[in-house]
Chains A and B, each alone.
Chain A
Amino acid sequence: MHDRLLSFLRTQLPGAEGLTIRGLHRTTGGQSRENWPFDASWSDAEGPHDLPLLLRRDPIGSVLETDRRVEYGVLVALTGSGIPAPGIRWIDPDGEHLGRPAVVMDRLDGTCDHFVLSGGDLQLPEPDRRRLAERYCGVMASIHRFAWRDAGLDPAFFPVPAHPAHAAIDHWSAELARQQVEPHPELTEVACWLREHAPEAQTVTLVHGDLKPGNSLLHQDASGRWDVQVMLDWETAHLGDPLEDVGWVTNPLRQREHLIPGVWERADLIARWEAATGLTADPAAVRFWNVLANYKLATITLTGVRSFLDGRGERVWSASRSLARFLLRQIDEG
């Protein structure tokens, strides 16, 4: 990988002299992409450079099959927007240089704590966790306020859906059909329920698609305050209904990641998001997107199963019947 990466960087930095890479290794984090942190240094007409970088490459088998051009495109568009996203450098869209499609982006040091809001590794005091929860909500709102029409997103990778809810069902149903290795009548029933309850979108915005503390890096400022430094994993970003993200972060199955019991409840999150965006979160629509979130998770799980059965995955997956049970109860609630 070292030689391939060096060769790739030479094609991207034709004027570079003394190009070297150091510390390249594959980390364990990330189930959908391979992450390879490294440092690169070179000199050019602007002077010497020494940068911490991250190579994200498609794995042989993944739980989520996405196009690196989407990730690259959205990160280019977000540059200078004020939304905390990593700076993007280069793309090898078809894997010509790096074996499989890949992007290289700036690497930021920080702490990843999946369950920081409910305690997690950092065990922050409650007021700090509440402040972080509000910050995550603010980041989500800023993504939904992003002026995507002026951002030059390539319509080939960022189509504007006529009906975002139907587009989401179509996308994930097609993905399920492509990945499943056996029938799942539970998911057939859920898909039918989704089609019968698909809400109209009040607007179309940029949607992150996988907002969670586990997809962010935190840093501590000089006064000891923790803050969100950057949101990661933009590979499922698309144009759609902003309530898709709201439904993702209020998914009852994953409330431990997003809520603080008695302090930062579902209603608090939604009220703050409404205030920050000027949009409204119709409860029936949020419920639809909660169900869609778990339908998506079920599809991702079955993608892992297929990858495992094809001998491409490195993790022993099994179909989640408990997720199917949760979904059936979700749609049975009313």
Chain B
Amino acid sequence: MRPTVTEQLQGAARVLRDVVAPHVTDANAAEQLGHAAVALDALAAGWDRYAVTVLADLHELETLLADLDPGHVPGAPLPDPAALPTVAELDGRHTARRAELSALIERLHAAPSSAGSAEGIADALAAVRAQLLRSADRFA
């Protein structure tokens, strides 16, 4: 979803550097502002890999503890880090499906007679609206 989290973090850093910083005259405030912008840049660069990184480390930790600590109680099986998609990958797929849904909505509204019975079209549109509402609730 645009702007993505990465784009929002990068944009916030840009606004701080390009719009706010030139007008900050207090030396300490300017220095802290610089640190805040750098922190946002670092988050933008790394946040999307965070879950994969934690998962990979967790795998190693649990294997190590299972080998070495007799008192270790294994938790639920973990997914394979290599199979875990990044948010960018999920976003890309999500966007493609939403484009498909947009096209479907236009088809349903434009050609009800060729796409099926009027009742079928109404049911389909009701299902579409219900999904759109659930999605909006989810992201709002």
Distance to closest chain B CB from A288 (angstroms) = 16
Which residues of chain A from 182 to 200 have any CB-CB distance to chain B below 8 Å in the complex? Answer: 182-186, 188-189, 192, 195-196
A328 vs B134: C-alpha distance when bound (angstroms)? 11
Q: Does A225 count as interface, using CB distance less than 8 angstroms?
A: no
Contacts of A316 in B (CB 8 A): 8, 11-12, 15
Q: Does A203 count as interface, using CB distance less than 8 angstroms?
A: no
A123 vs B131: C-alpha distance when bound (angstroms)? 43
A308 vs B7: C-alpha distance when bound (angstroms)? 9
Asked if B3 and A185 sit within 8 Å, CB to CB, the answer is no
Asked if B136 and A188 sit within 8 Å, CB to CB, the answer is no
Asked if B128 and A318 sit within 8 Å, CB to CB, the answer is no
Distance to closest chain B CB from A80 (angstroms) = 41
Find B3's partner among A183, A189, A305 (CB 8 Å cutoff).
Answer: A305
Contacts of A184 in B (CB 8 A): 98, 102
Hey, what's the 0/1 contact readout for A166-190 against B, CB within 8 Å counting as 1?
0000000000000001111110110
A332 vs B129: C-alpha distance when bound (angstroms)? 9
Contacts of A311 in B (CB 8 A): 14
Contacts of B15 in A (CB 8 A): 314-316
Which residues of chain A from 295 to 323 have any CB-CB distance to chain B below 8 Å in the complex? Answer: 305, 308-309, 311, 314-319, 321-322
Asked if A325 and B105 sit within 8 Å, CB to CB, the answer is no
Asked if B12 and A314 sit within 8 Å, CB to CB, the answer is no
Q: Does more than half of chain A's interface fall in helix, strand or loop, or is it mixed?
A: helix
Which residues of chain A from 266 to 319 have any CB-CB distance to chain B below 8 Å in the complex? Answer: 305, 308-309, 311, 314-319
Asked if B105 and A185 sit within 8 Å, CB to CB, the answer is yes
Contacts of A195 in B (CB 8 A): 109
A332 vs B128: C-alpha distance when bound (angstroms)? 12
Hey, what's the 0/1 contact readout for B22-45 against A, CB within 8 Å counting as 1?
000000000000000000000000
Find B1's partner among A182, A186, A188 (CB 8 Å cutoff).
Answer: A182
A182 vs B98: C-alpha distance when bound (angstroms)? 9
Which residues of chain B from 65 to 120 have any CB-CB distance to chain A below 8 Å in the complex? Answer: 95, 98-99, 101-102, 105-106, 109
Distance to closest chain A CB from B13 (angstroms) = 10
Contacts of B102 in A (CB 8 A): 183-185, 188
Asked if A314 and B95 sit within 8 Å, CB to CB, the answer is no
A181 vs B95: C-alpha distance when bound (angstroms)? 10
A321 vs B138: C-alpha distance when bound (angstroms)? 9
Asked if A325 and B98 sit within 8 Å, CB to CB, the answer is no
Asked if B132 and A189 sit within 8 Å, CB to CB, the answer is yes
Asked if A183 and B99 sit within 8 Å, CB to CB, the answer is yes
Asked if B98 and A308 sit within 8 Å, CB to CB, the answer is no
A322 vs B15: C-alpha distance when bound (angstroms)? 25
Contacts of B1 in A (CB 8 A): 182, 319
Contacts of B3 in A (CB 8 A): 305, 308-309, 317-319
- Using a CB–CB distance below 8 Å, which chain A residues touch chain B? 181-186, 188-189, 192, 195-196, 305, 308-309, 311, 314-319, 321-322, 324-325, 328-329, 332
- Using a CB–CB distance below 8 Å, which chain B residues touch chain A? 1-3, 7-8, 11-12, 14-15, 19, 95, 98-99, 101-102, 105-106, 109, 125, 128-129, 132-133, 135-137, 139-140
- A sample of 7 inter-chain contacts (CB < 8 A) reads A183-B98, A185-B101, A185-B132, A186-B132, A319-B1, A319-B2, A332-B133
